[in-house]
Amino acid sequence: MAEIEIKTAPADFRFPTTNQTRHCFTRYIEYHRCLAAKGEESTECEKFARYYRSLCPGEWIEKWNEQRENGNFPGPL
C-alpha cells in the first residue's frame, strides 16, 4: 500500500499567532485571485487551494463560495 503524505500550508510570517482565521481567509483570496489572473486551468494556483483547504473549516468555504456566486463576497477578489 502506498504511503499517504499529509501536508498543510507552510508557516507565513504575516500570521505569527496561533489564530489562523486571517491566514485561512487570505489563502482563500489568493487562490481566487490566482484563478482570475491565470485562468481556471492553471496548475500554478493549486498550491493556494491546498493551503486554504487545509486551514479553513468546510462550512466557511461553502459560505464564501455561495457569497462569491451571489456577488456579495466581503473580500477583495
- pLDDT at residue 34 above 70? yes
Angle CA 38–63–26, to nearest 5: 50
Whether 10 and 55 have beta carbons less than 8 Å apart is answered as no
pTM value?
Answer: 0.77
> Cell numbers of 75, please?
473580500
What are the residues whose beta carbons fall under 8 Å from the beta carbon of 7, sequence distance 6 or more? 50, 54
Band the pLDDT of 39: cuts 50, 70, 90: very high
